[in-house]
Chains A and B, each alone.
Chain A
Amino acid sequence: MTEITLEMQDVKIVEPLIYELSSPGRTGVTFPDSDVPLADLPDDAMLRKELPLPELAEVDVVRHYMHLSTFNYNVDGGFYPLGSCTMKYNPKINEDTARLPGFAFTHPLQPIETVQGNLALMFTLQEWLKEISGFAAVSLQPAAGAHGELTGVLIMRAYHKSRGDAKRIKMLIPDSAHGTNPASSGMSGLEIVQVPSDEKGNVDLNALKEACDETVVGLMLTNPNTLGLFDEHLEEVVKTIHACGGLVYGDGANLNALLGILRPGDVGIDLMHFNLHKTFSTPHGGGGPGSGPVGVAPHLVDFLPAPIVSIVEEGDDDLPPLYGFYDPPKTIGRVKAFHGHFGMHVRAFTYIAMHGPDGLRQIAEYAVLNANYLQARLRGTYPIPYDRICMHEFVAEGRVEGSDIRALDIAKRLMDYNFHPPTNYFPLIVHEALMIEPTETENKRTLDRFAEALVQIAEEAKSNPDLLHDAPHTTPFGRMDEVKAARELVLCCWLPEDYKNQ
């Protein structure tokens, strides 16, 4: 790539900001002249005087974003074993189906008779997610995993309240949980009680029993947990919570390990969110949009967010059913405008349709195979604090005997080998955590190359630790001054002050 070097206070500018590329009076798109008579504009005092937006030609815009895109590591470009994020390959057909004009250009408030294709797709996806998870009903409305969690917590609250059980204010959350679990509960005004893990990485049953009383709303359980381990006492954990009148919320972040292996609803989990962007291959988009549908057991169906897609008129031999919307009688309300991230529903539908029951099970099997294979290859090079058969991911400690290097250094050095680093410093219960999730879409050769890189980095840690301290060396950018960013808080840019005179 060409490096444009503009000197500005000794800081090198690799790619100018879109505002810096602007030139007065230019536009990339023009629109037709008005074909109607012009109306009077509102009172002058209501009009804006200046609109300081950048002005570029289309080619400038394309080159700018093309250039920026080359700075991004991405799944299409390489291996992205970011633990707990399930960075699997995103099939190209999904991008085409979601953009079919019949889907992409429908308005969310059209009469239901004109959008039967959309509604049939959403209804079928609800049915499929129910079947995959063992739940009685599904809402597709939540926009992301954390949004699904908030929805779930509000459902749990509403359930207890509807039974006149007002004293329940405590949410139990294992110490290995994602930060969104306590944050979602906190947003709903609940008190958080942290439950420790035992030495094998399971929920500590004794501690759980002690925390259980008649003030418990429920437990937010990630299973497999963030150590990548299936809780060996899952059924007992569920039984313990139910015995004190609480509900068990399943964080579906790690569902990729369970497709066709276990239906969470079958073991008594009361409700769960799905991450369509993890398990069902909808792209992560540089940080979203995600999609976080929520599934519930029969006793919680009436509390789901409104509306749900349903059959409003049964079909017969000649006519398909008429799909429409339905508001559950005790609904918590809506959690966003319109019907959820429909574009993501189309992608997930496409993906499930192409896999069928056997293909879904293979996803889980090969995701787990890949994680265990990498764990086996790295055992002996890096400490693995909870060393047993893992599920879709595992956690190693990023330290090497006889060296001062840390997980962060290993992560940065991996970039020089052209790999995206694993998640680091999470879960919090592992010292110098490196959380590795290969997913099922990576082949053996890639995993071997990755394992070899990590083994070699462990060698470098002893022989030449500065190589790690200063890494990465081969990426377009080096390590960042994060303190400067937080201290100076430069959060946006503008057109230059002398812009008009240029």
Chain B
Amino acid sequence: MTYIPHSPLERDEMLATIGVKSLEDLFKDVPAKHRFPQLDLPPALTEMEVAAELQGLADANDSTRELVSFLGAGAYNHYIPSVVDHILRRGEFYTAYTPYQPEVSQGTLQAIFEYQSLMTSLTGMEVSNASHYDGATAVAEAVNMVYAIFRGKRTRVVISPTVHPEYRATLRTYVQGMGLELAGDDPTSDLEASPEALESLVDDNTALVIVQYPDFFGRIYDYTSLIEFAHQKGALVCVAVNPIAMAMLKTPGEMGADIVVGEGQPLGIPLSYGGPYLGFFTTRKQYVHKMAGRLVGETVDSRGQRAYVLTLTAREQHIKRERATSNICTNQGLMALASAVYLSVLGQTGLRQVAELSYHKAHYAAQELSKIKGFGLCFMDPYFHEFSLCCPKPVSELNEHLLEHGILGGYDLGQDYPALKDHMLIAVTEMNTKEEIDALVEVLKEAVND
């Protein structure tokens, strides 16, 4: 079926008004030999049929609803209060577009303004844009921004090997045409080294230093002295953060970071097999003119009412074209709204609770797992809700065994880091009960005793 509302009579009246005989007559500019191809696609289904087909595909998956999940590595299984999706399903929000006409878009505009505010509160920074595609592209846009700030005169970017492997891969793709050199992007380097080890890579040509907090292995560091060192060299620092951890930990803003970005998925956005998620981007006010992406600012309307508009649009592609900082056009509007609703309804108490529950449960899991013979914690540094577990058997083998018991095991770190062969990255959130953690321990115990 289609969603076309025309009756045959209306269609014919319209064709007559246009002055053509048939619908085909409207396509005479299209090269005749390629016009009206027969598409080899399955015949149309009714809504009833398509609902059943999609249900069948969904049922062919084992989701984190059926499995007990200890998988994280950049996407986290947190509880999403009902209210979030109820707001998202308002047609007034999801069937609107970019608020080009502020007189009839104040809902979206005020919601984005509030989102921007919430992100600066979380990260301890001064300004936030209206969002990017995801955490990985937000990191890449940080490089774009810094490239514009230095007008291309500094051409080195230092990135810690403990930044998410897919973020580093995305950045490698983005910089292909930019004439930038990436340093530090080496998974064989010493993963136990302190953040200050990166200092040896920072030189007078370095534009940006990128670190992650907690890092890919869940570890938390105070980056203050690294940031001071980078600043002495004239470089800026970008910290990619987990927003839930920000409820508990010293912010990168307090450490002196220039840019704080991250993946907003943990803030009320379903796992949805990897997307759509939310890239948040915050920085210092002095850089706002070089920041990419949409930005909402406060103003008044002709009736003296407080109102909001897209502002500093002269930075953007539709005006600056090839001289724009970035080509970004859309933001992740609806996902930004989801995170704003989530943060509003949790508030400081709820978000702290989520962070602390995740922290304590992860530490309980780590403690119990490291008691099993042959297992141990890989790193000794403080961590948040994720940790690297050294295993006596290949991770793939252990994960197969866990899956047979309905448990989704951790991420196999050996895929990305040769030195971490047989290491599993385990994530624990408020969703994991003690019973589930104990089951994980029991099944792993049994797996090595087999």
Known contacts A46-B220, A183-B320, A288-B330; A90 and B95 CB within 8 A of each other: yes
Q: How far is the CA of A121 from the CA of B59 in the complex (A)?
A: 12
Considering only residues 38-64 of chain B, those with a C-beta below 8 Å from chain A are 38-47, 50-51, 53-64
Known contacts A46-B249, A442-B5; A95 and B324 CB within 8 A of each other: no
The stretch of A98-106, A310-318, A398-406 in contact with B is A98-106
Task: Across the interface, name the chain A residue whose C-beta is closest to B34.
Answer: A266
Asked if B411 CB lies within 8 Å of chain A CBs, one says yes
Q: How far is the CA of A485 from the CA of B430 in the complex (A)?
A: 41
Known contacts A121-B57, A355-B2; A479 and B39 CB within 8 A of each other: no
In the assembled complex, which residues on chain B have CB atoms less than 8 Å from the CB atom of A443? 5-6, 10
In the assembled complex, which residues on chain A have CB atoms less than 8 Å from the CB atom of B100? 82, 423
Residues A11 and B300 in contact, CB atoms below 8 Å apart: yes
Residues B345 and A29 in contact, CB atoms below 8 Å apart: yes
- How many of chain B's residues have a CB under 8 angstroms from any CB in A? 208
Considering only residues 467-502 of chain A, those with a C-beta below 8 Å from chain B are 470, 472, 475-482, 484-486, 488-494
Looking at the complex, which one of A342, A366, A389, A412 makes contact with B272 (CB distance below 8 Å)? Answer: A342
- Chain B 21-38, CB-CB to A under 8 Å as 1, else 0, gives 001001111110011111
Q: How far is the CA of A96 from the CA of B113 in the complex (A)?
A: 29
- Chain B 131-142, CB-CB to A under 8 Å as 1, else 0, gives 101111100000
Q: What is the CB-to-nearest-CB distance from A485 to chain B, in angstroms, rounded to a whole number? A: 4
- Chain B 99-130, CB-CB to A under 8 Å as 1, else 0, gives 11111111110111110111011100011101
In the assembled complex, which residues on chain B have CB atoms less than 8 Å from the CB atom of A103? 57-58, 61, 63, 272-273
Asked if B247 CB lies within 8 Å of chain A CBs, one says yes
Asked if A211 CB lies within 8 Å of chain B CBs, one says no
In the assembled complex, which residues on chain B have CB atoms less than 8 Å from the CB atom of A36? 360-361, 364, 434, 437
Considering only residues 70-109 of chain A, those with a C-beta below 8 Å from chain B are 70-77, 80, 82, 85, 87-91, 93, 95-109
Residues B295 and A491 in contact, CB atoms below 8 Å apart: yes
In the assembled complex, which residues on chain B have CB atoms less than 8 Å from the CB atom of A96? 51
Task: Across the interface, name the chain A residue whose C-beta is closest to B224.
Answer: A45
In the assembled complex, which residues on chain A have CB atoms less than 8 Å from the CB atom of B71? 107, 109-110
Residues B271 and A106 in contact, CB atoms below 8 Å apart: yes
Residues B331 and A288 in contact, CB atoms below 8 Å apart: yes
In the assembled complex, which residues on chain B have CB atoms less than 8 Å from the CB atom of A110? 62, 71, 408
- Chain A 155-180, CB-CB to B under 8 Å as 1, else 0, gives 00110000000000000000000111
Residues A480 and B304 in contact, CB atoms below 8 Å apart: no
Looking at the complex, which one of A30, A46, A134 makes contact with B37 (CB distance below 8 Å)? Answer: A134
Q: What is the CB-to-nearest-CB distance from A141 to chain B, in angstroms, rounded to a whole number? A: 9
Asked if A210 CB lies within 8 Å of chain B CBs, one says no
Residues B318 and A179 in contact, CB atoms below 8 Å apart: yes
Residues A288 and B326 in contact, CB atoms below 8 Å apart: no
Residues A62 and B86 in contact, CB atoms below 8 Å apart: yes
Residues A334 and B305 in contact, CB atoms below 8 Å apart: no
Considering only residues 110-150 of chain A, those with a C-beta below 8 Å from chain B are 110-111, 114-118, 120-121, 128, 131-132, 134, 143-147, 149-150
Residues A28 and B347 in contact, CB atoms below 8 Å apart: yes
The stretch of A49-57, A242-250, A456-464 in contact with B is A49-57
Asked if B74 CB lies within 8 Å of chain A CBs, one says yes
Looking at the complex, which one of B6, B57, B321 makes contact with A182 (CB distance below 8 Å)? Answer: B321
Asked if B388 CB lies within 8 Å of chain A CBs, one says no
Q: How far is the CA of A43 from the CA of B220 in the complex (A)?
A: 11
Residues B297 and A190 in contact, CB atoms below 8 Å apart: no
Q: What is the CB-to-nearest-CB distance from A251 to chain B, in angstroms, rounded to a whole number? A: 12
Considering only residues 354-377 of chain A, those with a C-beta below 8 Å from chain B are 354-363, 365-366, 368-370, 372-373, 375-377
Q: How far is the CA of A69 from the CA of B340 in the complex (A)?
A: 14
Asked if B186 CB lies within 8 Å of chain A CBs, one says no
4 nearest A-B residue pairs (beta carbon): A102-B58, A338-B274, A108-B274, A76-B91
User: Can you report 6 A-B residue pairs in the complex whose CB atoms are below 8 A from each other?
Assistant: A102-B58, A116-B61, A376-B17, A477-B104, A478-B301, A488-B299
